Structure 1
Amino acid sequence: MNRYLAGAIGGLLATVPMTLAMEALYRRLPREERYPLPPREITEDMLHKAGLDDALDDKRQGELSLLSHFGYGAITGALYPVVCEKVEHPLVYGSGYGVLVWAASYFGWIPALHILAPPNRHPAQRRRLMITAHLVWGQAPCGSASAWLGLREGGVRRRASRHSVRHRPCRGDRTASSMLCGAVICARIVAWPGPGGRNAKPPPGMIRKWRF
């Protein structure tokens, strides 16, 4: 199977346990923090900027946010073999890749496009929820196995033949290293209260019952 297709399928499938984790953790949030999660917020903001927010009712917007959520999982899954080819570091494998996707998205293009504020300006528990969800996505058996299969079928074998003398960690070493690196990064980010501290409140009028 083409490694990019395998990565996309893996990322799509891994979004299922990620979404279930988001739903479960959402129910544990304090009531004042149970406003829509980032996939729904991003969808609503983009629809508003396109002038289409009044064209879709709330149910359709929820369906669109779920569709974009799974689509983004597939796209970032397809990029997994590319990243692993370019960067030889345990941070990019498994759960570490999930954290990298979270950081690149929520500290990167999302605030750059003025869609959402960066995570350090969000309530700490919601920040923990999203980090945990991306750890699940990165380490989910379907996502990691499929993406790994695609990676092995492609560039890794070619690189191994060019650098046969060089020691490369086995899959288990990479998985353990990625989990350790991801845990360290998450511990630092989760402990970072940001402006407003741990009691940061959502904008007025944002408390709603829908997750997506």
Structure 2
Amino acid sequence: MIRQLVRGATAGALSTLAMSAVMLAGQKSGLMPGQPPKHIVRAALPGHRQRPKPGERVLGAAAHLGFGATSGAAFALLTRGRGSGVPLGVGYALLIWLGAYEGWVPALNILPPASRDPARGRPVVMAAAHVVYGATLALAVRAMRGADGRHDEKEER
């Protein structure tokens, strides 16, 4: 089980880097004002929720990487002994996106729900970024398990 968690966390961290590239491209193209992880950290730090704070960019990146690694570890555990194909990874990542951007992020008054976001490009960019995360996660977990995905089953015996 520890190997599963480590592999999943590693795959999740790598997938978060791929996802972050999509998010940065979305911001640079003007589709998305700022990075959501930075907004989340800004709201969590002491002081005014909407004002910039020292270190928020680095803390946002670290929090995003940690969340991605944790989500990857959970995915590896949930798919243990089963296939972890790209459609499953993408579905998993889109559930994370929906839970965050239609759930806890707006509930904490950090960003508006994706369905009512005035920054119309942000939901599109974030959904695309989560698709990239999920596909990359599934491929990375599968690669770490071995080409046929049976490596872990042999270890458990």
TM class by shorter chain equals: 0.7 to 0.9
Q: Is residue 98 of structure 2 the alignment partner of residue 100 of structure 1?
A: no
Partner residue of 1:61 out of 51, 56, 61:
56
After TM superposition, give the deviation of residue 68 of structure 1 in Å: 0.6
Counterpart in the other structure of 1:133:
129
TM-score (structure 1 length as normaliser): 0.58
Partner residue of 2:110 out of 107, 110, 115:
115
Q: Is the 8 A contact 1:84 1:92 kept in 2?
A: no
Look up the equivalent residue of 2:10 and give its one-letter code: I
Look up the equivalent residue of 1:38 and give its one-letter code: P
* Aligned mates of 1:46, 1:152 — CA distance in 2: 42
Partner residue of 2:138 out of 144, 148, 170:
144
Task: For residue 137 of structure 1, give the secondary structure of its aligned residue in structure 2.
Answer: helix
* Aligned mates of 2:36, 2:150 — CA distance in 1: 33
After TM superposition, give the deviation of residue 147 of structure 1 in Å: 2.4
TM-score (structure 2 length as normaliser): 0.76
Residue identity (%): 29
* Aligned mates of 1:115, 1:153 — CA distance in 2: 42
* Aligned mates of 2:133, 2:93 — CA distance in 1: 6
Counterpart in the other structure of 2:37:
39
User: Higher Cα Rg: structure 1 or 2?
Assistant: 1
* Aligned mates of 1:46, 1:22 — CA distance in 2: 21
After TM superposition, give the deviation of residue 144 of structure 1 in Å: 2.2
Q: Is the 8 A contact 1:98 1:138 kept in 2?
A: yes
Q: Structure 1: any 5+ residue segments left out of the alignment?
A: 159-212
* Larger RCO, structures 1/2 (Cα 8 Å, 6+ apart): 1
* Aligned mates of 1:89, 1:152 — CA distance in 2: 11
The 1:94–1:129 alpha-carbon spacing in structure 2 relative to 1, beyond 3 Å, is same
The alignment of Structure 1 onto Structure 2 pairs a total of residues equal to 148
Q: Is the 8 A contact 1:10 1:77 kept in 2?
A: yes
